A and B are shown apart, each in its own frame.
Chain A
Amino acid sequence: MSVVLCMDHVSFSHAGRIVLHDLSFGIRAGEMTALLGHNGAGKTTLLRLLLGLTRPGAGQVLLEGRPMQAWSRREVARRIAYVPQGHVPLFPYSVRDIVGMGRLAETPFAPGLHRHDRDEVTHALHALGITHLADRPYTELSGGERQAALLARALAQGARTLILDEPETGLDYGQKQRLYALLRTLATQGHAIVATTHDPLAAARVFDRAIALRQGRIMADGPAADVLAPPMLEQLYAPR
């Protein structure tokens, strides 16, 4: 499996404090990677680095072998899609509008979506099983439905790498299972999936690989079932 996104000796400090220390790893296509760690371990910073939203203090982030800053925002958006934790914008955009935003990198100035873009949106809505929500205001959805809309947007974006921030937050058991099944399908189709999670037990079952962060360093990186076995978990979440 090919490495699509790669951290090469990356360090990052904020306000004089070292947040991440000398991280190196590669994200591979077709693989589901879970990022775990206690609160404040640097997961969010790591996601922002992977998304190219911030630059490392040392080392570099490589997207398809090229340094992240060499890509334009549009080029990055075609390759990496981000699924944030569901939040609510002020204005009541419909679910279709939100998913349509996934096509912004393709047609930023067009007055409307082209036929091809609309097809992508329809397809993404269908893949998430939320076609019936298409014309509902996003602001009125439940947490799970919002999550689904944001995932549909990521699919519509057409990127081969998906980065998700605690995607299971606010989902009930059934929704979680469906989310994991969908992510597995995508991985099988060759997508690279990276997700932060606070649920090591589910991660051990569902993900292929786990990267455990503790105080800004990689404590373990390997098959999820091994990394997230009880002895390691105790160390990982031990009080500092």
Chain B
Amino acid sequence: MKPLDPRLVRTADAVRTHLAVTVVSGVLITGLILIQAWLLARVITGAWAGEGMDALGWMIAAVAAVAVARALLSYLAEASALHSAARTKSQLRRRLVAHVTGSGKVWLAEGGDREDGAPRAGELVTLATRGLDALDEYFSRYLPQLVLACIVPFAVLAVVFWADWISGAVILVTLPLIPVFMALIGMHTQQRTERQWRLLSRLGGHFLDVVEGLPTLAVFRRAKAQAAIIRGVGEDHRRATMGTLRIAFLSAFALELLATLAVALVAVEVGLRLLGGHMDYQTALLVLILAPEAYLPLREVGARFHASMEGVAAADQVFTELDRRRETAGPGAAGDEAAGQAPAPTGAPSPAAAGDIRFEGVGLLYPGRDVPALSGLDLTVRAGERLLLTGPSGSGKTTLLSLLLRLGEPTEGRISVRAPGGEWTPLDRLPADDWRLGIAWVPQHPYLFDVSVADNIRLGAPDADMERVREAARLAEADGFVSALPDGYGTRLGERGARLSAGQRQRIALARAMCRDAPLVLLDEPTAHLDPENAKAVRTAVTRLLEGRTAVIVAHDTGWAESVLGENLRTAALPLLTREAHR
């Protein structure tokens, strides 16, 4: 992994500011280190030679000044680093969110965005928050040390060479050994460590597995017996980990050993030449004080490498994500508005939603898949009818709804719509936002947001007043339990609507659809996972929702349909592979 990702520098201007600040403060700190070393050597030598406070006083005062200056510099550098880190994280996050949400292409359950290796929503959230937080360490600790590691050793080396070329030569020879040794050890051990880490994560997972399975173990009276196994696995875990660590610590060992040993060699060599009269005391002291400084930044960079690389890795994942979606947006899935075919959205519902819909040879192949989710579909949905779609899982029922919602565009064939009394128009010529305004959708697992019940219901009609919200809830058989919540319609639902049961969530989603008041209704398995009581309430609500509207309903279980959906019912079983199938 690169210590400094060029994409990071390009993307976030906060990074560029930070780099500039870091380099400037690095140069200043290097200067202060050299000045302090010279002052210390000079004062100690002066006192040895019999100079008193009057002669040395200004130099001692200068040491204090250097201390204050260094403190100020460290403070400013650290504060600026944390500041830049916060801004960089924000810039990366905003780009990520804009990128992920911007395309409007969010495939539904059967869809392909999980298939091309893209992270799941939960992973993206972790990445955008905790993952990027690791950049703090990278910015405030690693980058400054990296800059120092690039400046200080050379500056120290130059000064030591100028003062005493033999000591300079010792440092010049040992200094490059450190990165070389670390790389050599790293290469040798990497493979072995990786294998060990895999074993470790398996052993670590065992404890979690057993704790999660504790109720099951208790049922079979095996709970207490497992303690011995956990002890054994813990012992294996320790042995394996120690095996890994013995090797992993080797590179730190090489670094520490070389750095200290080199300082010891310089000290002895300088001491012997001083003894022999080949060198003066002040130079010897200067060399001794400066020698450890040449190695210090390298040690610090080494010590902080792993912690800091987490931040770089998180940034790397963000960039991968930014690139990925761009690549996988295939020809059919390309942004429709971006292609310039559709006029700008008007903000008014498209009249076509109240009319007929025609599928002609429509198919969809999700990016990264071999088998199409849907192919050669010919189907007409006439205004006012209720089309019940049945078929085994995987036959493309949900995909069809997804296409109607324009969450994706077909990769073959086309969908046309016709407003009452109008002409057939290809669906992709309509602004997606206007088209969706005419649709009310109740998915199989509706998502409820961590806002109030009322705001959840008026998701698709933000201007709806409380009267309309309450009426929608009443029609959806939701008014009763919502009113019983602590704050009624003002109750926050918690993450993913955790407060409510599956049946209640379904009824809120129906209220949402009622509130949207759209001419076209799409329902996906409205009662699949509900207990009989909730299922009954949902069926009642569905009957009301469908009154006077066109509907496409996906259902596995069709027994209830006849009585609920009424006389305008037509059933179509997927897959519909022939043009005659819908007749």
Tell whether A pairs with B.
no
| Partner-B contacts on A (CB < 8 A) | none
